[in-house]
């Protein structure tokens, strides 16, 4: 019997950026494989470019001009002396033409064949391959509702819209096509029935060139907001052995149908004990670490071994325990989850938690790409222990910078519907407001004020006067409300009503409340003050009137490009509170900008295609008298 041909990989270019590239580079460095990064101008100093052994610039900033240019990436690989290309798990990872170009250049492609990608990359063709077919958008009726409009290429929730009224279908199709074109360079969309209250379950597969296919358990990714996965876990809880076996069989069937090689994911909706095929992603997924934790595997290392020609053992290693992953995003729930930009001053997590990220302390979160900061992964013997470990780690994590979805993640993990494994894809439709309505720490402003006084070297801090003086006053914004702090200096140090100040310096304040001493870690960056997990904004004693905006001003929540305006939108048009007025594209997504009040549009300052800075006045609405 002839031994299989083994081709050793010595240098890998990763055709992606951020956390994805950093994740692949980590394994390559452990294996002694040289790494090559590509970067846009916006990513010139990004972490993935800093940690790679060599870098190649892709001039420009937009994905379509840089990370989606397969021709430039192949040239970069050849110029840098790479002998293989890893597509990451985004951008070009499911582009068959890119895979062909890599192979035609004489490079090793770390992924499935172009033919397999082509068969499964389009969700419409994948469904046909599995004996399914999407609906005809011109023939759907009321009986077909609700509907899901979905991009044929790509993923990550982009290019997806739920339609509950036929009158909304045309708008949903237009919006989904625009977003898909921007995110994936492919505006093809299709329509399928929307399965209400199902669970999103997927099977990780790994296949070699010798005919072995591993189905690596199951994952549950039901906690999704705007069709973007938020929390994932392995194995999927509360599935019967019979249903799990059926999912494995269907996943293997999909892989064999296209002679699949490498790592891939087959996705399903599970409802009423039945599995409904969604799609096959011919790549690793963002949530692959939970499978790695449960099976004790490095899937990127296995991808390289398969690409070199090595055979997998007949059976995968046994599964052990439970793993849960949470995606930490820079986004503000108080601003309709608008992505946030700025400096990430500090990001640390407790020991024992895996942190996958594309950022280091001091890095800038820009406007051009996905706002995901990191993934936190916990592994434990049981699901309950994994939930507790991850929720506790998020609670204790240090996150100094833009507003994040930390509270949503913690509250989701501790929600009874999740802890008892009764969640489905409608989880956030039912619970989002309650999960994002947190109670800020009422003592955080006082702790911030005392730390600030110590940091400023107040000569009276820790001293006292025989003559009673006026209390010191500081103002902070917290959770959308203004808080005014009063305290006095006495012979025993600073004093305030109802709370004893045990200790106060620039970084740590200890307060005793009702006989219990509590510690408050303090960090200040500009006017932002982080007190444990609470973030405040320091306000000036006397507000500057020149910074006040006129009532009814509609401001850009972030830098971006105006994609389109609402139909027939001109000054003098009556508008309703919450009515969409225009759409802004930033961070690879469209963001709907709505009217702040019911009244009349009195001014419109932007046009489609116009780029705007954060805080720019987009329009003016004169509120209707009540």
| pLDDT over 60 (residue 1) | no
Round the average pLDDT of the chain to a whole number and report it: 89
Q: What SS3 state is found at 82? A: coil
The residue among 197, 171, 16 whose CA lies nearest residue 95 is 16
Q: What is the pLDDT of residue 430?
A: 94
HSE-CB at 366 with a 13 A cutoff on CA atoms is 15
The alpha carbon of residue 186 and the mean position of all alpha carbons in its chain are separated, in whole angstroms, by: 21
Phi and psi based region of residue 527 (left: phi greater than 0; alpha: psi -120 to 50; beta: remaining):
alpha
| pLDDT over 60 (residue 469) | no
Q: What is the pLDDT of residue 593?
A: 87
Confidence band, pLDDT 50/70/90 cuts, at residue 285: very high
Q: How many CB atoms lie within 10 A of CB 565?
A: 19
Helices (H), 105-195: 114-121, 123-129, 169-184
What share of the chain in percent tops pLDDT 70? 93
Strand order in the sheet with 213-225: 274-281, 262-271, 199-207, 213-225, 228-234, 322-329, 372-380, 354-357
| pLDDT over 50 (residue 463) | no
pLDDT digits (tens, 9 = 90+) for 519-547: 999 999 999 999 999 999 999 876 555 45
Confidence band, pLDDT 50/70/90 cuts, at residue 201: very high
**Which residue carries 């940690």 as its tokens?**
51
What share of the chain in percent tops pLDDT 90? 61
Q: What SS3 state is found at 625? A: coil
Per annotation, catalytic residue among 69, 283, 354, 524: 283
HSE-CB at 471 with a 13 A cutoff on CA atoms is 13
CB 368, CB 587: distance < 8 Å: yes
For residue 135, what is the DSSP state?
B
The residue among 402, 393, 396 whose CA lies nearest residue 337 is 402
Q: Which residue did the predictor score with more confidence, 583 or 317? A: 317
Cα–Cα distance, 204 to 576 (Å, whole number): 47
CB 378, CB 321: distance < 8 Å: no
Is 500 a known active-site residue? no
Q: What is the pLDDT of residue 543?
A: 58
Q: Which residue did the predictor score with more confidence, 346 or 62? A: 346
Q: What is the mean pLDDT of residues 505-515?
A: 94
Helices and strands: H and E segment counts in the chain = 15, 38
| pLDDT over 60 (residue 499) | yes
Confidence band, pLDDT 50/70/90 cuts, at residue 569: confident
CB 74, CB 101: distance < 8 Å: yes
Q: What is the mean pLDDT of residues 49-56?
A: 98
Which residues are 612's β-sheet partners? Answer: 560
Cα–Cα distance, 600 to 618 (Å, whole number): 14
pLDDT digits (tens, 9 = 90+) for 86-104: 999 877 998 999 999 999 9
Q: What is the pLDDT of residue 4?
A: 59
Q: What is the mean pLDDT of residues 586-596?
A: 78
For residue 192, what is the DSSP state?
E
b/e burial code for range 178-199 (CB count within 10 A of at least 16 → b): bbbbbbbbbbbbbbbebbeebb
CB 205, CB 305: distance < 8 Å: no
For residue 168, what is the DSSP state?
G
Confidence band, pLDDT 50/70/90 cuts, at residue 8: very high
Q: What is the pLDDT of residue 116?
A: 94
Strand order in the sheet with 481-490: 493-495, 481-490, 472-478, 534-539, 528-531, 516-525, 508-513, 500-504
| pLDDT over 60 (residue 190) | yes
Q: What is the pLDDT of residue 588?
A: 64
């Amino acid at each position: 019997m002839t031994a299989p041909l083994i081709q050793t990989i010595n240098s890998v270019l990763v055709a992606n950026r951020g956390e994805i590239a950093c994740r692949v580079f980590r394994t390559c460095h452990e294996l002694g494989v040289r790494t090559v990064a590509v970067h846009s101008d916006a990513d010139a100093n990004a972490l993935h470019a800093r940690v790679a052994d060599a870098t190649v610039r892709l001039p420009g900033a937009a994905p379509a001009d840089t990370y989606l240019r397969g021709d430039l990436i192949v040239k970069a690989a050849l110029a840098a002396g790479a002998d293989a290309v890893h597509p990451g798990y985004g951008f070009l990872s499911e582009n068959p033409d890119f895979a062909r170009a890599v192979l035609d250049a004489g490079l090793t492609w770390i992924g499935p064949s172009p033919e397999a990608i082509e068969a499964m990359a389009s969700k419409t063709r994948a469904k046909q391959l599995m004996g399914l077919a999407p609906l005809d958008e011109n023939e759907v009726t009321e009986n077909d509702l609700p509907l899901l409009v979905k991009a044929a290429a790509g993923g990550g929730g982009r290019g997806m819209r739920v339609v509950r009224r036929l009158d909304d279908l045309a708008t949903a199709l237009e919006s989904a096509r625009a977003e898909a074109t921007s995110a994936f360079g492919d505006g093809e969309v299709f329509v399928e029935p929307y399965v209400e209250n199902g669970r999103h379950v997927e099977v990780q597969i790994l296949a070699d060139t010798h005919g072995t296919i591993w189905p690596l358990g199951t994952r549950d990714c039901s906690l999704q907001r705007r069709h973007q996965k938020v929390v994932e876990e392995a194995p999927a809880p509360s599935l019967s052995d019979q249903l799990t076996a059926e999912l494995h069989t269907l996943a293997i069937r999909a892989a064999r149908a296209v002679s699949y090689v490498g790592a891939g994911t087959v996705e399903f909706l599970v409802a009423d004990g039945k599995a409904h095929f969604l799609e096959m992603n011919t790549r690793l997924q963002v949530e692959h670490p939970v499978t790695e934790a449960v099976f004790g595997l490095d899937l990127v290392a296995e991808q390289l071994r398969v690409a070199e020609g090595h055979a997998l053992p007949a059976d995968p290693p046994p599964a052990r325990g439970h793993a849960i992953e949470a995606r930490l995003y820079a986004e503000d729930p108080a601003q309709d989850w608008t992505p946030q930009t700025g400096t990430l001053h500090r990001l640390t997590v407790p020991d024992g938690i895996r942190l996958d990220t594309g950022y280091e302390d001091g890095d800038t979160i820009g406007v051009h790409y996905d706002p995901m900061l990191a993934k936190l992964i916990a592994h434990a013997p049981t699901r309950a222990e994994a939930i507790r470990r991850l929720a506790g780690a998020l609670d204790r994590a240090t996150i100094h910078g833009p507003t994040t979805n930390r509270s949503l993640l913690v509250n989701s993990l501790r929600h009874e519907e999740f802890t008892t494994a009764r969640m489905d894809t409608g989880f956030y439709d039912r619970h989002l407001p309650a999960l994002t309505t947190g109670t800020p720490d009422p003592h955080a402003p006082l702790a911030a004020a005392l730390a600030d006084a110590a940091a400023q070297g107040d000569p009276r801090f820790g001293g006292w006067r025989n003559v009673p003086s006026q209390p010191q006053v500081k103002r902070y914004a917290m959770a959308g409300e203004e808080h005014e702090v009063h305290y006095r200096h006495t012979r025993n140090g600073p004093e305030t009503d109802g709370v004893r100040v045990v200790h106060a310096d620039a970084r740590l304040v200890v307060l005793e409340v009702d006989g219990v001493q509590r510690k408050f870690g303090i960090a200040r960056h500009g006017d932002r003050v982080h007190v444990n997990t609470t973030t405040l904004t320091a306000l000036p004693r006397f507000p500057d009137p020149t910074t006040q905006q006129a009532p009814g001003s509609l401001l850009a929540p972030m830098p971006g490009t105006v994609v389109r305006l609402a139909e027939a939108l001109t000054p003098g048009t009556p508008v309703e509170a919450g009515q969409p007025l225009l759409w802004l594209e930033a961070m690879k997504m469209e963001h709907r900008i709505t009217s702040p009040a019911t009244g009349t549009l009195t001014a419109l300052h932007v046009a489609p295609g116009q780029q705007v800075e954060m805080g720019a006045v987009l329009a003016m609405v004169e509120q209707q008298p009540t």
